[in-house]
Structure 1
């Protein structure tokens, strides 16, 4: 009798484990990195860019520097000069933006943000008027800022600055 009971329990268990196993189907959400807009991420990048501009207006160089992801992959192109890296960028930004005595105008024209998942490309035409003491400097450049979404928010990993042709202003 015990043998029949054990055989019956084993057979029922086998049926339960193999015959009634529920198949769970998962549906992967297809992400189109090229065409999807990622509106929440775009808003975060825009807020980061606004905070960058505010740090320049406030003369807060430590805050400005905090928006960069400095490391061996950081690069910058500026005004046709050879590429530089993190140390040169930080030194330049601290020196130049640290010497600004007044931000007269800080407009980003034709601003566009393209998000590709955890990477975002922000492009614009600068219309900046910065005072260094009594000297007014006008900056009309094409600017690209490349951001990566990190555990500490969106950080710049590349900058590109090129003069905008005067006839395009």
Structure 2
């Protein structure tokens, strides 16, 4: 009787051990994909950012200030540099952009020159030269700046979390 019980226990443990080994062998090996944030181009994300920049152009031309503001990732991390002054935060940026773009009576020209989009996963850096010509009633404003936009991909799409505007050196004509 003891022999039969011992034999039965050995058979049960043998079956369990063999089953566990088969499960281990059946595990699928997943090859880790290495992402090179500095050199990979991320073409899909780059196309999304380019589409956003074109949408931004149309938003400005349409005078849709609320949509312009919605393109920002406002919060405690938002920053802006402009005109060589001290850093602004989200509240100052929104107030400034609402004040300016609510008063544009005509967008004569709104072009990007020398634009470069660099994507680093869920972060994109857009650098460009502005070629903007706005009309405020009878007053014209021509904006030729260097501009950098830092974008972060969120559940609601790409949002601007940093802006930097610097005057572009004038060249001889």
Please give the TM-score of this superposition, normalised by the length of structure 1. 0.94
Q: Per the alignment, in what secondary structure is the counterpart of residue 104 of structure 1?
A: strand
The equivalent residue for 2:106 is 102
3-state SS of paired residue (2:47)? helix
Is 1:13 aligned with 2:31? no
1:69 to 69, 73, 95: 73
Q: Which runs of 4+ in 1 moved over 4 A?
A: none
Q: Spell out, residue by residue over 1:40-66, the C-alpha distance to the aligned partner (whole angstroms, 9 max, x if none).
A: 001111111111121111111100000
* Number of residue pairs aligned between Structure 1 and Structure 2: 169
Give the equivalent residue in structure 2 for 1:52: 56
Q: Which runs of 5+ in 2 are unaligned?
A: none
Deviation at 1:113, TM superposition (A): 0.2
Structure 2 distance, partners of 1:65, 1:168, is 36
Query: Separation in 2 of the partners of 1:141 and 1:167?
Result: 13
Are 1:93 and 2:100 an aligned pair? no
Deviation at 1:11, TM superposition (A): 1.4
Taking only aligned residues, the RMSD between alpha carbons, in angstroms, comes to 1.6
Counterpart among 126, 135, 138 of residue 139 in structure 2: 135
Unaligned runs of 5+ residues in structure 1 are: none
Structure whose alpha-carbon radius of gyration is higher: 2
TM-score norm. by structure 2 comes to 0.92
